[in-house]
Chain A
Amino acid sequence: MLFTSYEFLGFLLIVFILYYLLPGRAQWSFLLLASYVFYFIADPRYLIFIAITTASTFFAAKLISDKKVSFDVWFKEHKKEYEKDERKALKAKEHAVEKKIFLCCLLFNLGILAVTKYTNFTIANINNIIGAFGNKGTLSFVDLVIPMGISFYTFQSMGYLIDVYNGKFEAQKNPFKFALFVSFFPQLVQGPISRYSDLSQTLFEEHRFEWRTVSFGLERILWGFFKKLVIADRILVPVQAIIGNPDTYSGWYAFAGAMFYALELYADFTGGIDITIGVAETMGIKVTENFIRPYFSKNIKEYWNRWHITMGTWFTDYIFYPISASQFMMKLSKKSRARLGNNLGKRVPVYLSSFIVWFTTGIWHGASWNFIVWGLGNFVVIMVSQELEPFYRWFHSKVNVEYTFGWKLFRVVRTVLIMSSLRMFDCYRDVPLTFKMFGSIFTKSHLSQLNADAFIGMGIAAEDYLVVFLAMLLLVTVSLIQRSGSVRAKIASKAAPVRFIIWYGLFMATLIFGAYGIGYSASQFIYNQF
């Protein structure tokens, strides 16, 4: 059920009405039912996967949590009976049991994710290796079900498990409440990857109908639809034309394709998240923000703090920090400092951890070398950027431009260009072709390519480009206004006719200029595939 389908809107309407008709204490149970119905409609087989992840994580976390609590109680009562070393040994023994349970559950669920998403990728690589050695025998691909949103709900569940294991909070005692946390339907498809400590604050609460909350939610949904239907799905057509015909569209066209794709991805993903957050908001539930105007970032590091934030923090908290603080890294740090000196040596474990994180981030996005290279490309850019920090400091000490508008603009444009270039790996069918097309921007661009007819030949008319351009201007304007606070709150403070003109105008613009219905192919949200 696509977010932009009539079926989803109908489903949402029914859920919304029943949600507020039901007594408050039944609301979260009803949401669980609705979420499972939503997932069932997508494919009944998916339910088995999500149920297994939910059950295994719930019981493992509960077991760990119960053991922690009972051990703490027992330890408080009996600690005086033991010497310091004995107490330490007791704690270590207890921790080892918890660790076993934790690792079993973690590996089991990551195993499901790995098998469903990466089996065929592994087979393809094995076949390549066999082929490289001249062997003609190949392994057959397997036809596996890849449950919708498995990367998102697995990561969300594992985040919860890690937090319980680390003693951040006690495990949820009610399996159905936990099941809702894992399966909450608005964010099941494309995130955000919510933390239990954030989402649980409002997910299980009773919510009464409040017009302001509901209207704010609806406005957010509308804005999401505008981005998705008016911008993303309209610019999608030339993007597909460009990346589908690399022989025809090289040079400036490849550059245009990269820029169009940057716009499409932004409008698509943030639009989808707007719908997710808006839907939750109409029901009084607060879902974590996933974007803070990422294209206004001054560098790639900042960009990644503002783009797909919940994924970034997940990788930082649950992969980067544990790896950095692992015994192996500590030892490596010591050795590298000893051999390479303090300055260079201390960077080795950081960069190695960072490398692992970006490799994992890449492969999380998709089972292909394109995503792996994309992830590592980000790693390289961030590493180079950090290494150049002294140079930047020197440059700014000599040239006084750091706080000028022109320099800020330059940094923003630079970020957009670098990120758009890296994202070309999303677009083209393999890594060599991506490099070739990127190279063509510098070797095959010529002015004759910049003619309107060529762009109109990519499947949309001049009027469509105009619509996209105007919509993009609106997007930038809203982002600029947003810097000083919620745009919706600002609009809400205006007189009723002004509010009406703005929201009705946006509604009609979405209805009229949206790329939907007969004549347009319904386009899945890009991040659904992850």
Chain B
Amino acid sequence: MIKEYYDDPTDHNVVFIGDCELYENISPVYLWENYGINSYIRGSAQQLIWQSYYLAEETIKQEHPDIIVFNVLSMKYNEPQNEAYNRMSIDGMKWSSSKINNIKASMTEDEHFIDYVFPLLRYHSRWSDLNTDDVEYLFDRNKVSFNGYYMRVDVKPAENVPEGKPLPDYMFGENAYTYLDKLTKLCKDNDVQLILVKAPTLYPYWYPQWDDQIKTYAKKNDLPFINFLEYQDEMGIDWTKDTYDGGLHLNLAGAEKLSKLFGDILTQEYNVPDRRGEEELDKYWDGVIKRYNQEIERQTTNLELYGSVHKPEEKK
């Protein structure tokens, strides 16, 4: 998903940077169709704050968005976590100082920098698992996201969402704060409006103590912070219909509800322009919308036929 960003030749007014709470909960297609906002989501699973920072750094070097939106859930991670998630965030990036620094900041103890330079060194042991899917994927150039949005149309109601367990320490880590400071400075130095958000998903649990810290930080640094958990009624989120995995992520219906509220905020409070009518953008978005609608149809059909958005053979 990170790699697909480079295929979008347009200049974005808004770039969302963060974890799955962004790339599964906001629909740039909705923002374009209803507000004319040209936006992109640069996100990957469990994207850590330093990964978001280096993606933001690269984005600002590449283009100059008016607004960067950062989802603050990743503040809970202070150290590198998991190689597989690192790969999702880093492998797709083009080589630059941002990527190099991202790798250095993200590597777990077992990892080596050279494995990122030569992925064969990392994945060589897969030789015995190779199958026809790998060959198909080798030549598959189909995009999986819609300007960074990962779509799901199915529904799995949120039931019995667990309360957050008490934590020994609610303070965000020093390293996480360092990168939040760097992100704030990066945006200020480059005249980019940084908006901190917390997506309205029920799990992982967002503790009031965490919320207080972000509020304090935002106030101190003169940044807006929108906790969308507080706007659930205003958005009309229905947890029996608007999530596909029991409250962890929104489905398409939920994502479009959040996008509607966010679209209102971006246009009304931040004067993000309506760019519909720009020939190049219209042409680009026509293609994305076409794919978007096809995907809705594909998933809906599969859901009716197989009870899942994936065909049985795709579930392997």
Residues on A facing B (Cβ under 8 Å): 6, 461, 463-464, 511-520
Contact = CB atoms under 8 A, between A and B. Distances in A.
Given A6-B112, A6-B114, A517 B127 contact: no
29 contacts: A6-B112, A6-B114, A461-B128, A463-B128, A464-B128, A511-B120, A511-B121, A511-B124, A512-B120, A512-B124, A512-B127, A513-B124, A513-B127, A514-B124, A515-B125, A516-B121, A517-B112, A517-B115, A517-B121, A517-B122, A517-B124, A517-B125, A518-B83, A518-B110, A518-B111, A518-B115, A518-B122, A519-B125, A520-B125
Given A512-B120, A515-B125, A517-B121, 14 more contacts: A6-B112, A464-B128, A511-B120, A511-B121, A512-B127, A513-B124, A513-B127, A516-B121, A517-B112, A517-B122, A517-B124, A517-B125, A518-B83, A518-B122
Contacts of A513: 124, 127
A308 B59 CA distance: 59
Contacts of A516: 121
Contacts of B112: 6, 517
A231 to B, nearest CB: 15
Interface residues of B, number: 13
Contacts of A517: 112, 115, 121-122, 124-125
A438 B283 CA distance: 77
A514 B123 CA distance: 11
Contacts, number: 29
A478 to B, nearest CB: 22
Q: Report which residue of B83, B112, B115, B128 has the largest number of chain A beta carbons within 10 angstroms of its beta carbon.
A: B128
A464 B128 CA distance: 8
B62 to A, nearest CB: 31
Contacts of B120: 511-512
Contacts of B122: 517-518
Interface in B232-247: none
Contacts of A511: 120-121, 124
Interface in B116-145: 120-122, 124-125, 127-128
A22 B83 CA distance: 40
A515 to B, nearest CB: 8
A178 to B, nearest CB: 37
A514 B122 CA distance: 11
Contacts of B124: 511-514, 517
Nearest to A10: B114
Nearest to B111: A518
A461 B128 CA distance: 9
Interface in B70-104: 83
Contacts of A515: 125
B83 to A, nearest CB: 7
A80 B114 CA distance: 73
Nearest to B83: A518
Contacts of A461: 128
A511 B114 CA distance: 13
B120 to A, nearest CB: 6
A446 B104 CA distance: 54
Nearest to A460: B128
B252 to A, nearest CB: 36
Contacts of A518: 83, 110-111, 115, 122
